[in-house]
Amino acid sequence: MKYRQLGSSGLLVSEICLGTMTYGEQNSAEDARNQLDYAVAHGVNFIDTAEMYPVPPRAGSQGLTEQYVGRWLKGVARDKLVLATKVTGPARGYDWIRGGPRIARRHIEEAIDASLKRLQTDYIDLYQIHWPDRNVPMFGQATFDPDAERETTPIAEQLAVFAGLIKAGKIRHIGLSNETPWGVCQFIRASEQAGLPRVASIQNAYSLINRVFESGLAEIGFREKVGLLAYSPLGFGVLSGKYLAPSGTGRISLFPGFGQRYGKPNVNEAVRAYSELAQKAGMAPATMALAYVRSKWFVSSTIIGATTMEQLRQNIDSAEVELSPDTLREIEAIHARYPNPAP
């Protein structure tokens, strides 16, 4: 396993990050422990979770994922790990979280204290805003809607709260998630103008069927030293090829209406083309998809998720795979035919 510096933070993170959002829904506490043990034994030092998890979110299970991770965390060397979690943003209808979550002082302070308690740790290495406090297109939406504007906490005020948490020793670094180019630039500008903490990372979707990060955010990441934590590198499992002949056991099959971006036109056509290319290159489609994401210069870590140990082993093993120039050229040819079908 190789390690990369996360933005300007000084944190060294494994190229593979273990995502945990299925813990408490599709995976039991024992499953979680086995996955975490296996990942760390194979060089993974980076664990990502969120106060909102597991998914799909609901009041009865919210926080279970952090609890499962926390039980495991008690028995391991905390200082050898980079632990990331997230504070929930507004406008998703999750009123059971603080009566309607916001990225404002009371909400952030309540969220971090609850996460620390569930995770049974004194500090979080990377604390992320799960999605912006302001109105933005998210999760498959393609167009900004000015009519959806709402009250929001100024970015400088958000950063000031995080500065206090860093001073108190509760968090070490901050990151963004599901953020836009404008948003990242505004966070950087506010930190420079007011001497507030600088964002180290952005956790956005990135995969063979969703490469929109490349057009604007990649340049910002390069010039401002903000690393990408690529989530959904397999597009909710779509890029494994399993939905080309649905088994009824995947997340999209189990939770209808979840992951709508993967039902858009040309998704199946693109996935079929990538699957055929992977087979031609002598590897599983999931392995090629993960190796492609990991190969990109702007990706600090690729967040994997698994519901079985077999999936986890395959995903972690992908860290040893390097794609040939011919395979990379053929990937670009497919991308030219089916550009970003699942943005």
Catalytic residues: 53
Name the DSSP letter for residue 209.
T
Question: What are the structure tokens assigned to 190, written together?
Answer: 């506010």
Which region, left, alpha or beta, applies to residue 206 given φ > 0 means left and ψ of -120 to 50 means alpha? Answer: beta
Taking the C-alpha atoms of residue 26 and residue 212, their distance in angstroms, rounded to an integer, is: 29
Given a contact cutoff of 8 angstroms between Cβ atoms, the answer to whether 36 and 150 are in contact is no
Length of the chain as a residue count: 343
Pairing outcome for strands 227-231 and 3-5 = unpaired
Residue 7, Ramachandran bin (φ over 0: left; ψ between -120 and 50: alpha; else beta): left
Provide the residue type at 59 as one letter: A
What is the rounded CA–CA span in Å between residue 67 and residue 32?
A: 10
Q: Both tokens of residue 123? A: 């500090």
DSSP string of 110-174, one letter each residue: HHHHHHHHHHT-S-EEEEEESS-SS----TT--S--GGG------HHHHHHHHHHHHHTTSEEEE
Q: How far is CA 318 from CA 87, 150, 269, 271, 334, in A?
A: 30, 43, 24, 18, 21
Q: Are 288 and 327 in contact (CB under 8 A)?
A: yes
- Distance between CA 333 and CA 304 in Å, rounded? 26
